[in-house]
Each structure stands twice: as structure tokens, then as C-alpha cells.
């Protein structure tokens, strides 16, 4: 009997990772409903906090800004899920969000949404793909010229 070979390539048809993709963490760093990884994006020359979490096996990234008042959501650094691990929760007034869509389903901003970012998981790592209006954070200021 002939060898059937290694089978179909699971990455066949997947476009290559964009050159400007930024590696955020190892895929294993994100546990289902667990601690998220914080990072920063730039908008209009300002640096804004963001985060990525894992929910139902997929990675999801958002700006770390509540839809009620633009305050960071995590009650301890990286802790975005409430105790059941089913919803993201804002530490300030308790708004709860669906982790996969960012839609607020309870609390003072019900019906509003978190700002979703494009993230991808591949080859054992998680990447943020910059898209307008969120680009890379501004570079640190250059040191003054040496006289």
C-alpha cells in the first residue's frame, strides 16, 4: 500500500504574516479565560494601553479602555476576566463585556463596545497587526546631539 504522505498542510492558503506584525507573547502565555498580556499601541502620537486574552480557544485584542469612561479595565495588571472566566469586566464600575466581540452586555455602558484590535496566533506566538488608526507607539525621543 502506498504511503499517503503527511496529509494536507494546515497552513496552506494562509497569507504570510505582515512585516509590521508585532510579536506580543508566546501562544502558551494566554490561557483560556486567564490573565491577559498588556501592550501599547499608538494613536495620534499618543501611546494607549491594549491587551490580548484567550477565549474559546481564540485570541482577542482590545484597547485597554472601558467604553463607559476611558479608564483601564484590569483590576490587577493583566486580570481582565471576572471570576467565571466568561466575561471581561471593568474594575471601575463593573461593566461586563463579551470577550469575543467586546460588546458590553451589562453595566453603565450596555450596548457599547470595546475597541477591537487585529491579533493573530500562528507558529506558537501571538501577534498584533497594526491597522489605522492604531499604529506602532511613537519612538522614544532621540537623545540630544552631542556638542
Query: Which residues, including other chains, have CB under 8 Å from residue 68's CB and lie 6 or more apart?
Result: 90, 92, 93, 95, 104, 107, 108, 109, 112
Q: Does 89 bind ligand FES (CB under 6 A)?
A: no
CB 130, CB 20: distance < 8 Å: yes
Q: Does 71 bind ligand FES (CB under 6 A)?
A: yes
CB of residue 73 to ligand FES, shortest distance in Å? 7
Query: Which residues, including other chains, have CB under 8 Å from residue 67's CB and lie 6 or more apart?
Result: 95, 97, 104, 109, 112, 113, 114
Q: Does 21 bind ligand FES (CB under 6 A)?
A: no
Among 37, 50, 63, 66, contact with ligand FES (rule: CB under 6 A): 66
Number of residues that bind ligand FES (CB under 6 A): 11
Interacting residue ranges for ligand FES, rule: CB under 6 A:
66, 68-69, 71, 90, 92-95, 107-108
Amino acid at each position: 500500500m502506498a504511503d499517503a504522505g503527511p496529509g494536507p498542510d494546515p497552513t496552506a492558503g494562509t497569507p504570510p504574516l505582515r512585516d509590521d506584525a508585532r510579536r506580543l507573547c508566546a501562544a502558551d502565555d494566554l490561557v483560556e479565560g486567564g490573565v491577559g498580556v498588556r501592550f501599547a499601541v499608538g494613536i495620534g502620537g499618543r501611546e494607549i494601553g491594549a491587551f490580548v486574552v484567550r477565549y474559546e480557544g481564540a485570541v482577542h485584542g482590545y484597547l485597554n479602555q472601558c467604553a463607559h469612561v476611558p479608564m483601564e479595565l484590569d483590576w490587577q495588571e493583566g486580570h481582565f476576566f471576572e471570576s467565571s472566566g466568561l466575561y471581561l469586566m471593568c474594575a471601575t464600575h463593573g461593566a461586563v463585556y463579551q470577550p469575543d466581540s467586546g460588546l458590553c452586555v451589562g453595566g453603565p455602558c450596555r450596548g457599547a463596545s470595546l475597541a477591537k484590535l487585529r491579533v493573530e496566533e500562528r507558529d506558537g506566538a501571538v501577534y498584533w497587526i497594526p491597522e489605522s488608526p492604531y499604529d506602532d507607539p511613537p519612538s522614544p525621543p532621540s537623545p540630544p546631539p552631542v556638542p
